[in-house]
Amino acid sequence: MRSATRVDLEVERASRQSDVVAGYRILGSYGWGDDGAGHISARDPEHLDAFWLLRYGVAFRKATVADLVLVERDGRINEELSAAGHTINPAAFCIHAPIHDARPDVISVVHTHTGYGTPFAALTRTIRATSQEACAFHSDQAVFTGDELDVVDTTVGGRIAAALGAHRLLVLANHGLLTVGATVAQAVGFFIVAERAAEVEVKAGAAARVISDEAASIVYQSVGTPAAGEEVFGWLRRSRLDTEA
């Protein structure tokens, strides 16, 4: 197998940057992040210990590639590849860095505060199989039950990463939802799917019918594949941003 060339790395970097900007804009199209809460990261294909984030102060709906900064493992911004003088949301580093460290398979992490994911998180449990969307997380989700809602150090982030384990979705108790993916498209696509599943839970409540583990497992084989997350992202990019995926 040939090693990645400089051109390969730059093409992949540009692709991830494009997707993470689209991800921020998609979140912004729902009104999420209007108060500055939330973040999407994308691991750099060359500097594997570093990841791209939106610089602090930029509205999600107005994100551009020029607004992205590369954050090193120690929290410093790589000024060779990023515009100098910018800052990031500290919580973004404290949450995302430990997850990227613990999960080399993860390219992207998504977390923001949403209309249904955040109230659902106050229930402090995983999403039940009450909808097709929920089946995308069948046996592929976990809960972080800590009281640290304002994540200001990587020690808490480490506990979040440990709670996530090998799963796709993490419910941060009293805080919101977090998803990860082997691509930015997967992480963003499944975040939206998780929000929809949380909406069903919040609206239907305890009376909602829960399908069997066997049925949920079968549906997972369709809606829970990596390709399914990619497809959702493509639809979101076309419908919410009016651009081609």
Q: How far is the C-alpha of 115 from the C-alpha of 110, rounded, in Å?
A: 16
Q: Are 151 and 91 in contact (CB under 8 A)?
A: yes
pTM, two decimal places: 0.95
Residue 175 inside a domain? The answer is: yes
Q: Which amino acid is at 26?
A: I
Is 1 domain-assigned? no
Residue 21 lies in a domain: yes
Residue 60 lies in a domain: yes
Query: Which residue, among 29, 42, 109, 111, has the nearest Cα to 82 in the 3D structure?
Result: 42
Comparing CA positions, the residue from 57, 211, 216, 201 lying closest to residue 136 is 216
Residues 6 or more apart in contact with residue 23 via CB below 8 angstroms = 40, 108, 110, 184, 187, 188, 233
CATH number for position 172: 3.40.225.10
Whether 136 and 220 have beta carbons less than 8 Å apart is answered as yes
In the chain, the amino acid numbered 105 is D
Within a domain: 35: yes
Count of domains forming the chain:
1
Per-position b or e across 209-244, b if 16+ CB within 10 A of its CB: eebeeeebeebbeebbeeebbbbbbeebbeebbeee
Cα angle 151, 182, 239; round to 5:
90
Per-residue pLDDT of the chain (245 residues; tens, 9 = 90+): 456 788 899 999 999 999 999 999 999 999 999 998 999 999 999 999 999 999 999 999 999 999 999 999 999 999 999 977 899 999 999 999 999 999 999 999 999 999 999 999 999 999 999 999 999 999 999 999 988 778 889 999 999 999 999 999 999 999 999 999 999 999 999 999 999 999 999 999 988 999 999 999 999 999 999 999 999 999 999 999 987 65
Look up the domain containing 110 and give its range.
6-241
Residue 140 lies in a domain: yes
